[in-house]
Each structure stands twice: as C-alpha cells, then as structure tokens.
Structure 1
Amino acid sequence: MKLIQLTAITAAVLASTAALAADPIIVVDGDEAVVYEAEPVAVAYEVQPAYAYNADAGVVRNTTGAVVGGTKTFFQTVTHPAAISAEVGSLGYGANIGWALNDKTELQAGWAGGDVADLFGGDFDANDVNYEVDSDFSNPYLGVQLRPMANWFTMGAGIIVPDNSFDVTANPNGGVYKVNGVKYNADDVGVLKGSMDHRNKLAPYATIGFRPNITNNFGLFGEIGAAYMGQTDANVTASKSGPVRVEDGVNPGGTVVPGLTPGQVANLAKNELEDKDWLEWLPIVKVGATYRF
C-alpha cells in the first residue's frame, strides 16, 4: 500500500511541477526523504530561413515577409540582394541589382550607358542624308522581372530615366546633300553637324527574355524589347555662310538660288531629323551574366 501511495504522490507532484522542471522535487515517505532531480524539458524550434534558393527558377523564395516584416528585416533584405548582373546592349554597358519577392517576381535597379553608336553601325539615314553618329548614353532604370511559369522564361517592364545625346555629322553623297528631295551643293553648304536629344524624361519599357542557370550561383540572360523615348529635339549647323547652288540638271555645278543660305539648308536637315521616328521607339537588345546569392 505504501508503494502505491508513494507512486501516486510522486506522479502527482511531477505532473504539477512540469513548468518548474529545473527545480528539485522532494517526496517524503515516513522518516525518509527522497530527492528527484527533474530534467529540463528542451523544445526545439526549427528556424525557417528568410529566403531559400530555387535552383529551377533561379530566384529566391519567401522574401515578401522579409520585406514587409519590419524595419530590421527590410534593411537586411535591401542590403542583401538576390542577384547582381552585368549587361551590354542597345542601352549601353551597365549592371543591375535584383531583389526577389518570390520565385516569380524580382525587382531590379540598374544603369546602362556609354558610347553605343558602334553597336548599331555608327551611322543612320534620315531620308536621303547619311549621318555619322557619336552617342553618349545614360539610362538609369527601375523595373520588375516576372517569371510567369517560374522557369527560365522572363517578362520585364519598368521605367527608364534617359539622358541620351547623339552628335551627328552629315556625309555628302556625290558632292551634294539631298534634303527634302533637293540636291544642295556640299561645297557651298560646308559641313552639316548637329545633335539630337530625347524629349521624354521618363521612358516606359517592356521586354521578354530568358535566364537559364549555369550553376546554383551563376547564370546568363538575354532580353529583347523596346523603350518609348518619344520624339527628338535636333540642332543642325552649317560651316559655310555664302550662297548655295542647287543641282538642277542644267548647269554642271548647279544654279545659285537667290537668298538661299547654308543656314536654311541646315534648318531643313534639322526638320528631317526631328521627323525621323527611328529614335521614338528605341529597341532594347541586351545580354549579360548574373551572380545569385
């Protein structure tokens, strides 16, 4: 009977003191006292990482909670990007940083620029006048990369803040500049030089592309698309100031047109440049490499 009572008392005491398991438990049986040292109960919690790499999609998962979870986690997320990339293309040479919200959505901030005229041949035609081009590009941008199927296929959209300029020099053809269908003697006009700038201060863009992974950390990408830069403002000047001859098929050197000046020819060339819409939609073609953390 004593054994049963002792057992019952011990069980009750142990159960009622589970929350104080670190303290010793004393059970008295007659003149004898028995001390039981309770073992502390250890509860293990598995901490889930704020993000986990997805080798198939090539982005990180579960960062939405980190972004909106508080100031500390927001700072940690912003200062620990999902990826950095280097790129080259029609917008210039540059780089971007990406922050992934989930396995299908990644925010990007980047810049591309430099002299990229050689990437599209270094010259262009505005109607019948051929121009040599030197460019100075600066294109900071903010955008989002979507992976609608959570694989290598991507769709991008965002805003560019363009600060792009073009210096142009006209090339005479057969000793004449043909502007608006009229052939002006190049020796009388002199050198036609000018510049062009985009009117848009903000330019929306859209792309499609692919981003296959080479390893868990390294990948490649390619994108094609367009940015709406708007129309351009142009400025053209002529190096001569005397009278200008116009080719009429009668006189070998052309016929002098009274009152016609090289400056007027330059202004006609300026109007053609501004009417030219090849810069209104700037094509986006770029390739690059990505390192993912």
Structure 2
Amino acid sequence: MKLIKLTAISAAVLASTAALAADPVIVVDDNAAVAYEAEPVAVAYQAEPASYAYNADAGVVSNTTGAVLGGTKTLFQTAINPASVSAEVGTLGYGANIGWSMNEKTELQAGWAGGDVADLFGGDFDADDVNYDVDADFSNPYLGVQLRPTGNWFTVGAGIIVPDNDFDVTANSEGPNFRIDNVDYNASETGTLQGTMEHRNKLAPYATVGFRPNITNNFGLFGEIGAAYMGKTDATVTSSNADADVTATTVNGTTTVKGSDVAKAAEQELEDKDWLEWLPIVKVGATYRF
C-alpha cells in the first residue's frame, strides 16, 4: 500500500514540474530518498511573420505602409533605376532628359534644353515693320510628366520650365528709315539699334501632345508639339547715336527726336511682341530604354 501511494505522489510531482526539465525531482519515503530526472519538454517557438515581403525583381513592397509613389515602387528603387534617357532638339534648344516610370502609363521626366537656337527659326524675326537679327542663349531646365492615356504610342505631357533665355537683337533698317509704330526714323541719323530681351516668368508651365513609338525593345523615337507660357518680355535697346538729332516723319509732317528716343520706341515695340509670351514647343528626339 505504501508503494502505491509513493508511486501516485511521484507521478503528480513529475507532472507538475515537467516545464522544469533540467531540475531533478526528489521523492522521500520513510526509508530512502530517490531522485528522478525529469525528461526535457520540447517547446516550439513560432517566428513572427515578416512585416513585409519585397520582390527584388519587380521593385514592389507588399505592405502599403512601406510603399510610396502610389504603391508601385519605392522612392529609392525609382530614383536609382531610371527607365529611359533621351536626346532632343527643338525650339527650346538642344538637350536631354531622364525618365522614371511610375507605372506602365506614367513617366516622370527631368531634363534640360538650351544653347543658341536662333538658327532653328531662321535667325531673325519681325516686330511690326522692323526686322531683327537674333542671337539666342537658351537655358531651359524642366520637370514634367509624360502620360500614355491609351497605353500606346500617343502621349500627353505637362510640367514646369525654369527659363533663363536671353535674346540679343540688332535692327535692320528698311531702306533709309526705321519704321517703328508708324513713324519713319532716319536710319543713318539713328545709327545702330541693338538690344536684349528676356522673359519675365521665372517658372513657365507647359503642355504638349506627341508620339513615342518603340523601334526595338530598347530604342524609340519621339516627337512633341505644344507651348510654354513664358510671360511678357523685358527689352533693353540702345542707339549708337543716342544723343544725335534724328528726323522723324509722320502723316502729320516731320519732327526731330534724339537717337535715344528711337531706341525707346523700338524697346516698347519689342515688349509688345505677343508671340514671345507663348513660346511654341516643337521637338524631336530618340530614346533608349533600360
């Protein structure tokens, strides 16, 4: 009977101390002390699930809290992996841009176009009755978005240009006179009329439509047309005979002005030239896609 009680007590003690696998259990009866070594208990630990899963090939983060740019790509992946580089030439100048794909229909672009592009539009222009030879020094960094609304070669673009465009102009007389605002000024008495123009806008919004067909898997061509709102222009014109008397002829007869007055009249006429307010955008180029 004592043996049965001892066995029952031992089983209860072993069951209550199973978690203490490394500690021995001692059972004492009237005659002897016996030590029983408890078997270690296997404990299973389940690892916490990862907070996100990252696909290195697609650049996609599965948890939305870790994703940016519409949940398509991380900012880091997008910045260091541009989708394309392009070379271009057009009315904004000669340049290049880098493109980053946001998704299959949207591409962010950053680029620059500039240089002396006066020869691209003939090297001269008319302001009313006065023809001007032009030398242009363009600098047009820009940031924009190219959309493929139908998912094919047709594109729509929009963005911002930071223009720094200078025009050097020299007036060409028509016969013996400069005709400015319906007044004929004697050209030989006026001397040479030279000046500069620049746009007032420091930021110029633009919009374009175009096409971007792919020739191969990596190479493609593009063309775009549109316009940028450059704002009014500031002009400065000087006469080489600023203090000389100049004969001015109107429908009411003749009068005498100074060469500097003729320069001021030409300056005002240049600033009123509307086509410089909206600068047309026409460009073509080639693209390499990574």
Give the TM-score normalised by the residue count of structure 1: 0.74
SS at match of 2:195: strand
Residue 65 of structure 1 deviates from its aligned partner by 5.2
- Distance, in Å, in 1 between the alignment partners of 2:249 and 2:141 is 47
4+ residue segments displaced more than 2 Å = 45-49, 64-70, 72-77, 246-250
CA change 1:51–1:112 in 2 (3 A) is same
Residue 152 of structure 1 deviates from its aligned partner by 0.2
Equivalent residue number for residue 262 of structure 1: 259
- Distance, in Å, in 2 between the alignment partners of 1:195 and 1:135 is 10
CA deviation string 1:113-164 (max 9, x = no partner): 0000111111011111100000000000000000001100000000000000
Equivalent residue number for residue 284 of structure 1: 281
Residue 188 of structure 1 deviates from its aligned partner by 0.3
CA deviation string 1:220-272 (max 9, x = no partner): 0000000000000000000012111234699xxx95x34x1000010001000
Contact 1:66 1:77 in 2 (8 A): no
Equivalent residue number for residue 164 of structure 1: 165
Contact 1:183 1:247 in 2 (8 A): yes
Residue 67 of structure 1 deviates from its aligned partner by 5.1
SS at match of 1:118: helix
**What is the letter of the counterpart of residue 268 of structure 1?**
A
Matches within 5 A, 1:168-247: 168-240=169-241, 241-247=243-249
Note if 1:147 corresponds to 2:166: no
SS at match of 1:227: strand
Contact 2:59 2:74 in 1 (8 A): no
**What is the letter of the counterpart of residue 145 of structure 2?**
V
- Distance, in Å, in 1 between the alignment partners of 2:262 and 2:77 is 60
**What is the letter of the counterpart of residue 87 of structure 1?**
E
Residue 278 of structure 1 deviates from its aligned partner by 1.0
Structure 2 gaps, min length 5? 1-52, 61-65
CA change 1:47–1:227 in 2 (3 A) is closer
Residue 289 of structure 1 deviates from its aligned partner by 0.3
Rg (Cα) greater in structure: 2
Note if 1:49 corresponds to 2:57: yes
Residue 201 of structure 1 deviates from its aligned partner by 0.3
Which deviates more, 145-154 or 236-245?
A: 236-245
SS at match of 1:266: helix
| Root-mean-square deviation (Å) | 2.6
- Distance, in Å, in 2 between the alignment partners of 1:142 and 1:46 is 30
Equivalent residue number for residue 134 of structure 1: 135
- Distance, in Å, in 2 between the alignment partners of 1:167 and 1:153 is 37
User: Identity of counterpart residues, as a percentage?
Assistant: 69
Contact 2:108 2:145 in 1 (8 A): yes
CA change 1:185–1:149 in 2 (3 A) is same
**What is the letter of the counterpart of residue 243 of structure 1?**
D
**What is the letter of the counterpart of residue 133 of structure 2?**
E
- Distance, in Å, in 2 between the alignment partners of 1:245 and 1:168 is 23
**What is the letter of the counterpart of residue 207 of structure 1?**
T
SS at match of 1:173: coil
Structure 1 gaps, min length 5? 1-44, 53-63
SS at match of 1:278: helix
CA change 1:190–1:209 in 2 (3 A) is same
**What is the letter of the counterpart of residue 99 of structure 2?**
G
**What is the letter of the counterpart of residue 193 of structure 2?**
L
- Distance, in Å, in 1 between the alignment partners of 2:176 and 2:92 is 34
- Distance, in Å, in 1 between the alignment partners of 2:250 and 2:196 is 30
Residue 74 of structure 1 deviates from its aligned partner by 2.7
Residue 47 of structure 1 deviates from its aligned partner by 5.2
Residue 169 of structure 1 deviates from its aligned partner by 0.2
Aligned length, in residue pairs: 232
